[in-house]
Structure 1
């Protein structure tokens, strides 16, 4: 392996950090839109998404890690619904 290839591989691995989460299909709930976007990390997917209503939005991210993107999205929606039930429009405060 040449010196140039070694240096290039070092920088290439540094660029392969966490990728931008991919938004999955949204779900409407009591006037809110819940959009899961699991974050791929070592060992699984982190619960992440967006709760919106009109012009307001709240980034929803938790420490929970799950093994699949689909199960992570389901968990985000479940937790977001619970938060909406408990806080209503105060989600945006």
Structure 2
């Protein structure tokens, strides 16, 4: 259900192909979704962080320059980077001064 909501929030419809989800985990009240992107050199870190702010679902996506040889390693590193973003920025990831 949340995936459907996020797609509609980003203007995607059911006919669009969503990014391939390689891994998903919960961390400190946030959902981290790892979606490594195919890159000529391997797999690029790419993910989504979602949570609720004042009862409203919120999401932000991120891409990093880091490229790894396998999708699995890129997914693990995506989760690590997302955890760091959450630790450093918390709700500021979603705008505002929370």
TM range (shorter): 0.7 to 0.9
What's the counterpart of residue 89 of structure 2? 87
TM-score by length of 1: 0.75
> How do 1:1-93 and structure 2 match up within 5 A?
21-54=19-52, 55-93=57-95
Q: Mark the structure with the bigger radius of gyration.
A: 1
* SS of equivalent residue, structure 1 residue 22: coil
Query: Relative to 1, partners in 2 of residues 1:31 and 1:25: Cα closer, same or farther, differing over 3 Å?
Result: same
Residue of structure 1 in register with 2:13 after alignment: none
Structure 1 unaligned segments of length 5 or more: list them.
1-18
Output the CA distance in 1 between the equivalents of 2:42 and 2:30: 27
Q: Deviating runs (4+, > 6 A) in structure 1?
A: none
Change (3 A) 1:71 1:26: same
SS in 1 for 2:92: helix
What count of residue pairs does the alignment treat as equivalent? 75
What is the CA RMSD across the aligned residues, in angstroms?
Answer: 1.5
Q: Runs of 5+ in structure 2 lacking a partner?
A: 1-16
The offset of 1:21, in angstroms, is 3.5
Which one has the bigger helix percentage?
1
CA distance in 2, matches of 1:43, 1:21: 19
Shift of 1:24: 1.9
